[in-house]
Amino acid sequence: MLFSKVFIPILKNDPTEAKIKSHKLMLRLGMIKQSSAGIYSWLPLGFKVMKKIEDIVREEQNRIGAQEILMPTIQSSEIWKESGRYEDYGEEMLRIKDRQNREMLYGPTNEELITDIFRNSIKSYKSLPQLLYHIQWKFRDELRPRFGIMRCREFYMKDAYSFDISDDDALLSYNKFFLSYLRTFKRMELSAIPMAADTGPIGGNLSHEFIILADTGESKIYTDKRIFDVDSNLTTIEKNSLDKMRNDFEKFYSVTDEKFDQKIFENKVPEKYRIKTKGIEVGHIFYFGDKYSKPMNASVDFNGKKEFVKMGSYGVGVSRLVGAIIEAKYDEKNEIMKWPTSVSPYDCSVIPLLNKNDKSNLEKSMKIYNFLKNNKIDTILDDTYESISAKMKKFNLIGIPFQIIIGKKSDEETFEFKKIGEEPKKLKIEEIVKIIKNNK
Ligand code: ATP
Ligand code: MG
């Protein structure tokens, strides 16, 4: 894309209404635009990042054998009355009446709907396990929406659901999602720590939150430094390896606020390894057995006996991750954002010094731009006549990982190429393409 044509409405200064750096940067770069409290439009730069995050989430769900579906945003209250959560969910649920006066709601989560789909379709234990997921907008009428898209009312979430015949099988499903979450966040260059968590309104007794450390996070966490070194590079999803991996994590004390116990923390974690800080919850997984299948009568035939299926649910905050990555990767002091290459809005930027009376640099830049495009490298070319320092400042903020700078002295053969925030090197265009492709 040419910079003069893209829809990136950049502000000169940080907006005053934003309190944390991700919110500031997202407004400043025009990644999002608030439409009402806690409800946002996603503009091209923000939307591109979110879509890349969504693709990674999807690939890692598919990799453990989960199947994608799409459930609606609007649900009927009937199924929520069956599970008993229609009253319990309280004010966070947005309730709507249709023209026939039927009680509907905008889904905050989908345990009921998926259970309803399951019970009408799957009859035999031979079809289990079933791992199903969708990526869809959710609405929760949060009391205090804040921090931009980090805690909003309408947000984009991946939610998966597992159905098994026994607790043992269900734990295997749980561990598969546990691994897929580690893989997902790693591909975004985030170290998300699994922490034992409370189950809240979803219910059940086994649950982990995946949290990235950040001072601006809303979750208080207590953990052990050594957990960062646990090996999660599993290449298989076979039971014993998964059990071992979860065990390796659970050897280390790592909990959120609600589960915290000072005595146990001090006993289990030598002082030099203790971490007491804040974090951002980017994923949350639950095992809750027959909490929904029993009241909603979701059973399968197991050797002539009726068994209620054992279920788990698994959420990733796809839209929240955009903010979480900024919190982790934005150097606010020097105004340099560094998107991980896997989610960056573009792969490369071409930043030329342009002169209205001399078209040679523009021609040279267009050639490079077309060459990169033909090599499937998503590139943005700054074809404006701003000064090179103004352009550099702008592109440091936008955070695209690679920059090609066409200055006064650039020749025809080699170009100044740099990784954002690092020193430039003179390289041939073929070498540049190779580096960018190797980092994708
Ligand atoms: P939180 O504790 O942050 O309120 P939750 O426990 O209510 O979240 P879950 O039901 O576990 O959330 O939802 C799964 C994921 O969806 C969370 O891990 C989070 O990343 C994301 N999420 C939840 N609520 C919001 C929100 N209001 N705005 C943006 N993302 C959210
Ligand atoms: Mg949660």
- Report the 3 state secondary structure along 272-337: HHEEEEEEEEEEEEEEEECCCCCCCCCEEEECCEEEECEEEEEEEEHHHHHHHHHHHHEECCCCEE
Which atom of ligand 1 is nearest to 321's Cα? 20
Give the pLDDT confidence score for residue 207 in this predicted structure: 94
User: How far apart (Å, rounded) are the C-alpha atoms in residues 262 and 391?
Assistant: 51
Pick the CATH number of 348-439 from 3.30.750.24, 3.40.50.800, 3.40.50.2000, 3.40.50.300: 3.40.50.800
Give the pLDDT confidence score for residue 26 in this predicted structure: 98
Per-residue pLDDT, averaged over 74-89, amounts to 97
Pick the CATH number of 21-331 from 3.30.2130.30, 3.30.450.20, 3.30.930.10, 2.60.40.10: 3.30.930.10
Q: Is the pLDDT of residue 42 over 90?
A: yes
Q: Is the pLDDT of residue 32 over 70?
A: yes
Q: Whose C-alpha lies nearest to ligand 1, atom 31? A: 317
pLDDT tens-digit profile of 220-257?
Answer: 999 999 999 998 889 999 999 999 999 999 999 999 98
Give the pLDDT confidence score for residue 201 in this predicted structure: 67
User: How far apart (Å, rounded) are the C-alpha atoms in residues 411 and 364?
Assistant: 9
pLDDT tens-digit profile of 281-324?
Answer: 999 999 999 999 999 999 999 999 999 999 999 999 999 999 99
Q: Whose C-alpha lies nearest to ligand 1, atom 12? A: 284
The band of 204, judged by pLDDT with boundaries at 50, 70 and 90, is low
- CB distance 197 to 259 below 8 Å: yes
Per-residue pLDDT, averaged over 405-423, amounts to 88
pLDDT tens-digit profile of 46-69?
Answer: 999 999 999 999 999 999 999 999
Among 89, 66, 67, CA closest to 79: 89
> Burial letters for 281-315: b for 16+ Cβ neighbours within 10 Å, e otherwise?
bbbbbbbbbbbbbebbebbbeeeeeebbbbbbbbb
Q: Is the pLDDT of residue 411 over 90?
A: no
Per-residue pLDDT, averaged over 398-417, amounts to 90
Give the pLDDT confidence score for residue 91 in this predicted structure: 95
Give the pLDDT confidence score for residue 368 in this predicted structure: 96
Per-residue pLDDT, averaged over 131-141, amounts to 98
Residues with CB under 6 A from ligand 1: 109, 140, 142, 151-152, 155, 157, 200, 281-284, 315, 317, 319-320
pLDDT tens-digit profile of 170-196?
Answer: 999 999 999 999 999 999 999 899 998
pLDDT averaged over every residue in the chain: 95
Which among 88, 152, 320 is the best mutation to test ligand 1's pocket, defined by most ligand atoms within 8 Å of the CB? 320
Which among 284, 319, 322 is the best mutation to test ligand 1's pocket, defined by most ligand atoms within 8 Å of the CB? 284
Q: Is the pLDDT of residue 440 over 90?
A: no
Per-residue pLDDT, averaged over 209-222, amounts to 92
Which atom of ligand 1 is nearest to 145's Cα? 27
Per-residue pLDDT, averaged over 129-154, amounts to 97
Residues with Cβ within 5 Å of ion ligand 2? 284
Which among 57, 155, 259, 327 is the best mutation to test ligand 1's pocket, defined by most ligand atoms within 8 Å of the CB? 155
Domain with CATH 3.30.930.10 in the chain: 21-331
The band of 215, judged by pLDDT with boundaries at 50, 70 and 90, is confident
Q: Of 43-47, 256-260, 338-342, where does mean pLDDT reach its minimum?
A: 256-260
Domain with CATH 3.40.50.800 in the chain: 348-439
- Amino acid present at 335: E
pLDDT tens-digit profile of 381-392?
Answer: 999 999 999 999
Percent of the chain with pLDDT over 90: 90
